Amino acid sequence: MKTLTEDQKKYLMDSIREIPDFPKPGILFKDITTLLNNSEAFNLLMEHLTARYQEKNLDFVAGIESRGFIFGAALAAKLGVGFVPIRKKGKLPGTTIGEKYALEYGVDEVEIHIDAFRGREGARVLLIDDLIATGGTAEAAAKLIRDAKGECVEACFLIDLTFLGGKEKLKPLTSFYSVLEVV
């Protein structure tokens, strides 16, 4: 189903557990492991994403470490396209391109293999992660796709914490989709 009903969205939202003060005080952590271990919820989500993206002519799905790997790899297999990991600095073994982004305190960096898209200039790539908060990670990831000569067709998230405005950071780079919104 390309569009989810409000009841289906509520079902998915209710399948995600909230853990207060993790990993630090003041953060309400959205724990998607309770969606993953619920076969009905996981299936509903994957069927929805497959329906949304199967006619978008994608070449690759790129997932952000680490929860983006779970959804991204499952979706890539369903779509019959390749999967590309975008990882924290120092984890990918081949030649990489890196992109730094600001954290609340300090900076972090994500990397992609320089040959991730197998030499296909303009490869059509879907970026995916479980959640967008401030958008710093996703913005850096979208830039990496561009720098590796892919075309980031859309950035897709299970949850958008809309009050943090992350979506705005992606506007100059790609289009945006979130399955669920927290306002």
Respond yes or no: is residue 168 known to be catalytic.
no
Which token pair is 143? 């830039």
Residues forming the site for ligand AMP (CB under 6 A) = 27-30, 64, 67, 129-138, 166
In the complex with ligand AMP, which residue's Cβ is closer, 136 or 150? 136
Q: Give min distance, CB of 1 to ligand AMP, in A.
A: 25
Catalytic residue among 40, 47, 55, 104: 104
Residue 47 carries which side chain, given as an amino acid letter?
E
Q: Which is nearer to ligand AMP, 96 or 178 (CB)?
A: 178
Closer residue to ligand AMP (CB): 79 or 141: 141
Phi, psi of 113 (to 5 degrees): -65, 140
Shortest CB 164 distance to ligand AMP, Å: 7
CB-nearer residue toward ligand AMP: 71 or 117: 71
CA distance 27 to 58: 35
Of the two residues 1 and 19, which places its CB atom closer to ligand AMP in the complex?
A: 19
Look up 121 and say whether it is catalytic.
no
CB of 114 to ligand AMP, least distance (A): 23
C-beta of 3: minimal distance to ligand AMP in Å? 25
Catalytic residue (one of 67, 87, 139, 154)? 67
3-state secondary structure labels for all residues of the chain: CCCCCHHHHHHHHHCCEEEECCCCCCCEEEECHHHHCCHHHHHHHHHHHHHHHCCCCCCEEEEECCHHHHHHHHHHHHHCCEEEEEEECCCCCCCEEEEEEECCCCEEEEEEECCCCCCCCCEEEEEEEEEECCCHHHHHHHHHHHHCCEEEEEEEEEEEEHHHCHHHHHCCCCEEEEEEEEC
DSSP β-bridge partners for residue 64 = 86
Rounded to a whole number of angstroms, the minimum distance from the CB of residue 33 to ligand AMP is 11
Residues marked active site are found at 67, 104
